[in-house]
Amino acid sequence: MERRKFFGSLFASGAGLLALGGAARAKGAEVPKVAYHLSDLDKVNFVLGNISNHIAGCGGPGDVMIALVVHGSALQAFHAIDAVADVENHLAVLKGEGVNPIACAITMKAQNVELDDLLPGFAVAEKGAVVRLSELQQQGYVYLRP
């Protein structure tokens, strides 16, 4: 019987420590930073969905910092004139949740587009997407390429 009380106390203490850990993060601990790398046109909806799930899984907007770095054929999905409504709407929601979309300047030049030709909210990776991804990693971002 004493053994059950001991393990019950131990379990309760562990749960309390987990709760304190969450409270500490909520009180100003640094939020996770993630850089999503998107270069394949056929993965655009998949990656946008992953980002939505990532935000929800971390507790919601403000509980994770996400940069979406886009280059190659994937950037075509974000050309304002050609964007499908689903991509446009999904990106707008993600922007509202704090996601920072970044377009590769080299790809933009190759596709003959300017920043104003992309959906609203994009920044430009002037040195290119792969350079920006490495800079983000140096700043503590975790690199993901779904």
Whether residue 24 is found in the same domain as residue 37? no
Region of poorest pLDDT, from 4-8, 18-22, 61-65, 79-83: 18-22
- The pTM (predicted TM-score) of the whole model is 0.81
pLDDT digits (tens, 9 = 90+) for 38-90: 999 999 999 999 999 999 999 999 999 999 999 999 999 999 999 999 999 99
Question: Is 29 buried (19+), middle (13-18) or exposed (0-12) by CB count in 10 A?
Answer: exposed
Whether residue 47 is found in the same domain as residue 80? yes
Q: Give CA–CA dist 47/52, Å, rounded.
A: 9
* DSSP SS3 for 34: strand
Total of domains in the chain? 2
Whether residue 24 is found in the same domain as residue 36? no
132's CB contacts (< 8 A; 6+ apart) are: 69, 102, 104, 125
The arrangement of strands across the sheet holding 100-104 comes to: 123-125, 100-104, 65-70, 33-38, 142-144
Whether residue 19 is found in the same domain as residue 73? no
Boundaries of domain holding 6: 1-30
Whether residue 126 is found in the same domain as residue 98? yes
pLDDT of residue 26: 53
Whether residue 6 is found in the same domain as residue 48? no
User: Is 69 in contact with 36 (CB distance < 8 Å)?
Assistant: yes
Number of separate helices (H) and strands (E) present in the chain = 5, 5
Whether residue 6 is found in the same domain as residue 55? no
